[in-house]
Structure 1
Amino acid sequence: MTTFKLVATAAMGLEKPVADEVRALGYEPTVENGKVYFEGDETAIARTNLWLRVADRVKIVFGEFRATTFDQLFEGTKALPWEDLLPVDAEFPVAGKSVKSQLGSVRDCQAIVKKAIVERLNGAYGRRGILPETGPLFKLEISMLKDIATLTIDTSGAGLHKRGYRVGQGEAPLKETLAAALVQLTRWTPDRPFHDPFCGSGTLAIEAAMIGQNMAPGYNRDFVSEGWPWMDAKIWEDVRAHAESVADYEVELDITGTDIDHRMIKIAEANAAEAGFAGVIQFKQMQAADFTTDQENGVMASNPPYGERIGEVEEVEEAIRTLGRAMEKFPSWSVYMLSSMENFEDLWGRRATKKRKLFNGFIRTDYYQFWGQRKR
Structure 2
Amino acid sequence: MDYKLIATTTFGLEGITAKELKALGYENLRTENGKVHFEGDEMDIAIANIHLRTADRILINMGEFNAFSFEELYQGTKKINWSDIIPKDGIMHVNGKSVKSTLYSVPDCQSIVKKAIVDSMSASYGLKKFEEDGPLYKIEVSILKDKVTLTIDTSGPGLHKRGYREEAGIAPLKETLAAAMVLISRWKEDFTLIDPFCGSGTILIEAAMIMQNIAPGLCRTFTCETWPTFDEDIFEQVREGAERAIKNKDIKLLGYDIDGRVLKVARSNAEKAGVAQYIDFHRRNFMDFSSSEKYAFIISNPPYGERLGDKKEVEELYKRFGEYKDKYKNWDFNILTSFEGFEKPFGRKASKNRKLYNGKLKCYYYQYFDNEHIKNEGDMLINHI
Bin of the TM-score, shorter chain as denominator length: over 0.9
Unaligned 5+ segments in structure 2 are 375-385
Superposed displacement of residue 69, structure 1: 1.1
Superposed displacement of residue 329, structure 1: 2.3
Q: Which residue does the alignment assign to 2:71?
A: 71
Is 2:227 the counterpart of 1:228?
yes
Is 2:274 the counterpart of 1:270?
no
Q: Which residue does the alignment assign to 2:312?
A: 314
Q: Which of 321, 324, 327 pairs up with 2:322?
A: 324
Matches within 5 A, 1:232-243: 232-243=231-242
Q: Which residue does the alignment assign to 1:145?
A: 144
Is 2:179 the counterpart of 1:180?
yes
Q: Which residue does the alignment assign to 1:197?
A: 196
Is 2:247 the counterpart of 1:254?
no
CA distance in 1, matches of 2:280, 2:115: 55
CA distance in 1, matches of 2:203, 2:12: 18
Q: Which residue does the alignment assign to 1:343?
A: 341
Q: Which residue does the alignment assign to 2:377?
A: none
Superposed displacement of residue 311, structure 1: 5.5
Residues 213-239 of structure 1, C-alpha deviation per residue, up to 9 Å, x if partnerless? Answer: 100000010000111111111111110
Indicate conservation of the 8 Å contact 1:8/1:37, yes or no.
yes
What residue identity is the alignment partner of 1:232? D
CA distance in 1, matches of 2:115, 2:109: 10
CA distance in 1, matches of 2:70, 2:107: 12
Indicate conservation of the 8 Å contact 1:100/1:145, yes or no.
yes
Indicate conservation of the 8 Å contact 1:296/1:375, yes or no.
no
SS of residue matched to 1:279: helix
Superposed displacement of residue 187, structure 1: 2.5
Please identify, of 351-360 and 315-324, the stretch whose mean Cα deviation from structure 2 is larger. Answer: 315-324
Q: Which residue does the alignment assign to 1:109?
A: 109
What residue identity is the alignment partner of 1:8? A
Is 2:97 the counterpart of 1:97?
yes
Superposed displacement of residue 343, structure 1: 2.5
Alpha-carbon RMSD across the aligned residues, in angstroms, is 1.4
SS of residue matched to 1:93: strand
SS of residue matched to 1:264: helix
CA distance 1:311–1:98, shift in 2 (3 Å): closer
Is 2:296 the counterpart of 1:298?
yes
Q: Which residue does the alignment assign to 2:121?
A: 121
Superposed displacement of residue 260, structure 1: 1.4
SS of residue matched to 1:63: strand
CA distance in 1, matches of 2:12, 2:61: 22
Indicate conservation of the 8 Å contact 1:43/1:235, yes or no.
yes
SS of residue matched to 2:91: coil
Unaligned 5+ segments in structure 1 are none
Q: Which residue does the alignment assign to 2:84?
A: 84
Residues 91-127 of structure 1, C-alpha deviation per residue, up to 9 Å, x if partnerless? Answer: 1100001111111111111101111111111221111
Superposed displacement of residue 359, structure 1: 1.5
SS of residue matched to 2:5: strand
CA distance in 2, matches of 1:132, 1:296: 66
Superposed displacement of residue 320, structure 1: 1.9
Superposed displacement of residue 205, structure 1: 0.5
SS of residue matched to 1:92: strand
CA distance in 2, matches of 1:233, 1:189: 37
Superposed displacement of residue 90, structure 1: 0.3
What residue identity is the alignment partner of 2:65? F
Please identify, of 11-20 and 293-302, the stretch whose mean Cα deviation from structure 2 is larger. Answer: 293-302
CA distance 1:258–1:332, shift in 2 (3 Å): same
SS of residue matched to 1:355: strand
CA distance in 2, matches of 1:127, 1:111: 19
CA distance 1:114–1:361, shift in 2 (3 Å): same
Matches within 5 A, 1:208-227: 208-227=207-226
Under a length normalisation based on structure 2, what TM-score does the superposition of the two structures give? 0.94
Superposed displacement of residue 39, structure 1: 0.8
Q: Which residue does the alignment assign to 2:59?
A: 59
SS of residue matched to 2:148: strand
CA distance 1:337–1:47, shift in 2 (3 Å): same
Indicate conservation of the 8 Å contact 1:297/1:372, yes or no.
no
Indicate conservation of the 8 Å contact 1:289/1:326, yes or no.
no
Indicate conservation of the 8 Å contact 2:75/2:116, yes or no.
yes
Residues 312-348 of structure 1, C-alpha deviation per residue, up to 9 Å, x if partnerless? Answer: 3333222221122123222221001011222311211
What residue identity is the alignment partner of 2:360? F
SS of residue matched to 1:87: coil
SS of residue matched to 2:48: helix
Residues 234-273 of structure 1, C-alpha deviation per residue, up to 9 Å, x if partnerless? Answer: 111110011001111x211101110111221111111111
Q: Which of 345, 355, 358 pairs up with 1:357?
A: 355
CA distance in 1, matches of 2:86, 2:309: 55
Under a length normalisation based on structure 1, what TM-score does the superposition of the two structures give? 0.96
Indicate conservation of the 8 Å contact 2:90/2:133, yes or no.
yes
